């Protein structure tokens, strides 16, 4: 075959293993950025799919039915007027926002007796857990009520002097879940 092809040298000196490694390194160098981009895009698509599949409206419906039974979320030391409670029913709402993978699992705002919870859709807890329970309304509601309860408890003890403690709690809570779920 060598004579027919015109090969006039011996192939004993060529290290095929070295050639394989060189070729592999060259391919990796040119293909690796594309592979990373594909993985990142697939991750974003999956996160968006989870975000769209999770419905928190059923939690709001159940919450409205039981809201009169809930304690106040007004910070300790502040006492509203008696008629204020009858005019202001406890309210809660859940929404979603992309706060980055390293952001908190959720943030909350407390205005009067209304607590608004904003989930971080990029946090591993939201992506992993809500992806699994999006079809199970009871479990999804339970998670929403857990986050409401944490936010309500933190609202009760919030004051300018312990704002740092609350931030530290939420940061530690979010970081621990992120680490354990990765």
140 has pLDDT over 70: yes
Average pLDDT over residues 74-97: 68
The whole-number pLDDT of residue 150 equals: 93
Residue 26 burial by CB count (10 A; 0-12/13-18/19+): exposed, middle or buried? exposed
* Strand residue runs (E) in the chain: 91-97, 106-111, 114-120
pTM exceeding the 0.75 threshold for the entire prediction: no
**In 3D, which of 175, 107, 3, 170 has the Cα closest to residue 162?**
170
- Please write the tens of the pLDDT for every residue from 22-81: 777 778 777 777 777 777 766 665 556 555 667 777 777 777 777 666 666 665 566 666
Sheet strands side by side (includes 114-120): 91-97, 114-120, 106-111
- Please write the tens of the pLDDT for every residue from 162-179: 888 888 999 999 999 888
Rounded Cα–Cα distance for residues 160 and 27 (Å): 57
């Amino acid at each position: 075959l060598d004579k027919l092809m015109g090969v006039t040298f011996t192939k004993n000196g060529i290290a095929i293993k070295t050639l394989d490694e060189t070729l592999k390194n060259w391919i990796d160098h040119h293909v690796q950025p594309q592979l990373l981009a594909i993985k990142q895009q697939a991750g974003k698509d999956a996160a968006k799919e989870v975000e769209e599949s999770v419905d928190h409206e059923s939690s709001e419906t159940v919450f409205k039915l039981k809201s009169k039974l809930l304690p106040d979320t007004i910070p300790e030391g502040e006492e509203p007027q008696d008629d204020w409670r009858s005019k202001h029913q406890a309210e809660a709402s859940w929404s979603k926002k992309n706060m980055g993978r390293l952001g908190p699992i959720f943030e909350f705002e407390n205005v009067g007796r209304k607590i608004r919870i904003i989930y971080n859709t990029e946090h591993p807890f939201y992506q992993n857990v809500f992806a699994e329970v999006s079809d199970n309304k009871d479990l999804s509601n339970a998670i929403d009520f857990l986050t409401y309860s944490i936010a309500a408890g933190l609202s009760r003890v919030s004051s300018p002097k312990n704002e740092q403690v609350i931030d530290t709690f939420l940061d530690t809570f979010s970081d621990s879940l992120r680490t354990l779920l990765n």
